[in-house]
């Protein structure tokens, strides 16, 4: 089915966008990593969220998600790999699935575009961001998984289950991917392993990799007061649009983005009548 609004990210910005778009009668799908993988989950005390002092990040996130769920938003756990506008719809791929929506709210937090040496050079020639997509091409062969979350461990287990010989690097700091025509090895934090493919599973893809042509400003997604980006039907909210990286700011921006997405859909509908 096609949704009115697809929200990428299940933090304060994304959930606020979901609640506000849903309140305007729009169908909403929230795609996010598991809640516990949100950086806010580990925050021991958030003391500047108005009216709710001294909450932990986990308490806030749990309450936010419960609110969005009870409001009627649909949830899907997974990492968004690609997004593209075709016709008048956004198509978003999550692992082996594709979802459709008329608008997208990008609220995936800070995903810096810093890449490892060799990563860009060998993309598609032994560097992959999708274990479910490309794993089968490397059965019986050595692969490396660079993972930053529990879900990356699960993807490594999937690769092992289909017969890949997996070396797992947990949250490596510095890596270098080497090879000739294709990837041959990867070195992370001083340890080198042979690998025909290196799966790089970061918590989120950098915005410009997800959305080719997206305008940035100082490393963050460029938005206007309506939280609209330069791409039609794409809005952004929260940490991905810049600081301060705080819950109140994210929730406020999410509200605007959700309402703007709803308004955008209504406007398109009027134009088509």
Binding site for another protein (CB under 8 A): 81-82, 84, 86, 91, 93-98, 123-128, 130, 132-134, 136-137, 182, 197, 212
CB of 181 to another protein, least distance (A): 9
Dihedral angle sign, alpha carbons of residues 23, 29, 240, 82: negative
CB of 98 to another protein, least distance (A): 5
Indicate the residue among 52 and 84 with the shorter CB distance to another protein.
84
CB of 237 to another protein, least distance (A): 24
Indicate the residue among 133 and 222 with the shorter CB distance to another protein.
133
- 184-188 LR contacts (CB < 8 Å, sep 24+): 184/126, 186/118, 186/144, 186/146, 188/144, 188/146
Q: Which of 236, 196, 201 is nearest to 215 (CA)?
A: 236
Indicate the residue among 95 and 252 with the shorter CB distance to another protein.
95
CB of 139 to another protein, least distance (A): 9
Q: In this structure, are residues 147 and 201 in contact, taking their beta carbons and an 8 Å threshold?
A: yes
Indicate the residue among 127 and 261 with the shorter CB distance to another protein.
127
Burial label for 118, CB within 10 Å (0-12, 13-18, 19+), is buried
């Amino acid at each position: 089915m096609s949704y009115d609004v697809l929200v990428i990210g299940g933090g304060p910005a994304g959930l606020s966008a979901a609640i506000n778009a849903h309140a305007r009668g729009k169908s909403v799908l929230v795609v996010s990593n598991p809640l516990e993988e949100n950086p806010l989950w580990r925050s021991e005390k958030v003391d500047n969220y108005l009216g709710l002092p001294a909450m932990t990040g986990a308490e806030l996130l749990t309450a936010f998600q419960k609110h969005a769920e009870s409001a009627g938003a649909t949830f899907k756990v997974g990492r968004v790999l690609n997004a593209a506008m075709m016709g008048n719809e956004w198509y978003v791929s999550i692992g082996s699935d594709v979802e459709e929506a008329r608008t997208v709210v990008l609220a995936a937090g800070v995903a810096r575009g810093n890449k490892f040496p060799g990563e860009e050079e060998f993309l598609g020639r032994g560097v992959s961001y999708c274990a479910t997509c490309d794993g089968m091409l490397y059965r019986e062969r050595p692969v490396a998984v660079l993972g930053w979350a529990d879900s990356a461990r699960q993807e490594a287990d999937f690769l092992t289950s289909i017969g890949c010989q997996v070396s797992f690097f947990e949250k490596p700091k510095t890596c270098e991917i080497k090879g000739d025509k294709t990837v041959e090895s990867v070195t992370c934090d001083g340890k080198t392993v042979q690998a025909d493919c290196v799966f790089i599973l970061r918590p989120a893809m950098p915005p410009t990799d997800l959305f080719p042509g997206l305008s940035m400003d100082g490393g963050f997604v460029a938005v206007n007061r309506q939280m609209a980006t330069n791409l039609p039907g794409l809005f952004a909210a929260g940490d991905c649009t810049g600081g301060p990286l705080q819950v109140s700011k994210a929730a406020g921006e999410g509200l605007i983005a959700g309402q703007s997405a709803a308004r955008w859909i209504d406007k398109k509908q009027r134009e088509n009548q």
